[in-house]
Amino acid sequence: MALMKFGFLVISYLCIAASPQISASTADYKNAYEAQKADRVIGLPGQPPVKFDQYAGYVTVNETHGRALFYWFFEAVKTPQDKPLVLWLNGGPGCSSIGYGASEELGPFFPQKGAKPKLKYNPYTWNNAANLLFLESPVGVGFSYTNTTKDISQLGDTITAEDSHKFLINWFKRFPQYKSHDFYITGESYGGHYVPQLSELVYDRNKNASKETYINFKGFMIGNAAIDDETDQKGLIDYAWDHAVISDRLYDDIKKECNFNLQNVSKVCNNLLDEYFDVYKIIDMYSLYTPTCVDDNNTLSLPTTQQHFRAIEGAPALFSRAEGRGKRPEGYDPCASDYTYLYFNNPQVQKALHANVTGIPYPWTHCSDNITFWKDAPPSILPVIRKLVDAGLRVWIYSGDTDGRVPVTSTRYALKKLGLKIKQDWTPWYNSKQVGGWTVAYDGLMFVTIRGAGHEVPMFAPRQALILFNHFLADRNLPPKPF
């Protein structure tokens, strides 16, 4: 095998090994080299040829309980040694970053329809710009597992952040060549909790970190993100009425009966919200103006493993009532999640990814049916965001403007509540000759809208999303003129 196929770690290891004195770092690099070699994905069933390396496997985060998180990592398409490292987290809570982020949004390979496993290359993959790391978190999501059953009933925001931080520490031990790289955390939806909370933990722990545990963290970016219960829910209803999804009567009744400042709304309000959510059984809440998936009999296809409403006790009110499955990519095939589900349940695919090594007694799913209780979730993440903005970290928040789940209206309400000074108000940015969306530059935070994109922006607007990502990494304003 060519030397460069194992990346620049191999060169570092061989240089150290050539030294006449054997040091602890030599042993560490040797162990890392062997671990990377074991995790390297040689090729996936149906995969098109690529020139970058990919790795997948497990990182233990709690040896006593037997908790291990599954990751999938793609080196940058070109010069990975010069690119930053970016972690992507999907939300849920309880949904897979492998199923959504990696395989239907911003990763390099998208599963396709067919009797045999087949992957399509995504030309707008974010590893054009960075080394890209996807994590299935917490345990119980996707291929991530625990050998201690009671762990599932203890899940919540706190343990998710703690385990994800432990994952990062141990992952950098396995991939030490990336330790000096600029590191960013990104995500969407309930990632509005995961990403800032993990960012805060990394920031706080870095203050007293040793050389071995320090993470070169620079900032985070979240999209269509749940960040404040009160404004999330208020914006949800206002957006639906303003986009002709609900009637005047239902809107007026909800405004009269529902107080979203309360943690528990009234029975009358709950009944009205049930009526509100009924409309999203026939149209796509996550992308108002795109088709839903239908089966061969021209009826709505709602597989129980992928697309239904579910309750998670203890989750924020916005997410405890309904969480759609089967999100849809740009392209346009609204049934893409069906193909992803079949692909990751293929034994040959799992073998190639070094996944499901413990024989998990349930199929891989986009969102875990085993997670029905969420122990802790603060009603607002705004204090965390404000703390990290004040710390000088790079913070971008973006919103696809056709999403009904965490609509742009909710995000605008939340940012107003954050109380930051506006440096440059509502400015268009361009995707080639067309307006790609608008920006608001706050003091320490950039807000970006993506025109015509649903909940999962990279699915519906892949080119715009890659432009957004490149400018976030470069900390540059988006194109202010046509190009």
Pick the catalytic residue: 165, 366, 455, 471?
455
**Vertex 165, ends 163 and 166: CA angle to 5°?**
65
Pick the catalytic residue: 144, 189, 368, 399?
189
Pick the catalytic residue: 354, 403, 410, 471?
403
Rounded to whole angstroms, how far apart are CA atoms 355 and 358? Answer: 8
CA 337 to chain CA centroid, Å, is: 16
Which residue, among 130, 81, 198, 396, has the nearest Cα to 206 in the 3D structure? 198
Q: 113's torsion region: left (phi>0), alpha (psi -120 to 50) or beta?
A: beta
Q: Parallel, antiparallel, or unpaired for β 145-146 and 131-136?
A: unpaired
First to last CA, the chain: 43
Residue 189: active-site member: yes
What is the residue type of 256? K
User: Which residue matches tokens 């990377």?
Assistant: 36
CA torsion angle for 215, 39, 336, 299 (degrees, to 10)?
-110
What is the residue type of 319? F
CA torsion angle for 455, 459, 463, 464 (degrees, to 10)?
0
Residue 232: active-site member: no
DSSP three-state, residue 99: helix
Residue 455: active-site member: yes
How many Cβ atoms are within 10 Å of 143's Cβ, its own excluded? Answer: 25
Yes or no: say if 225 and 188 are a contact pair by the CB < 8 Å rule: yes
What is the residue type of 253? D
Task: Determine if the peptide bond prior to 93 is cis (ω within 30°).
Answer: yes
Residues belonging to the active site:
189, 403, 455
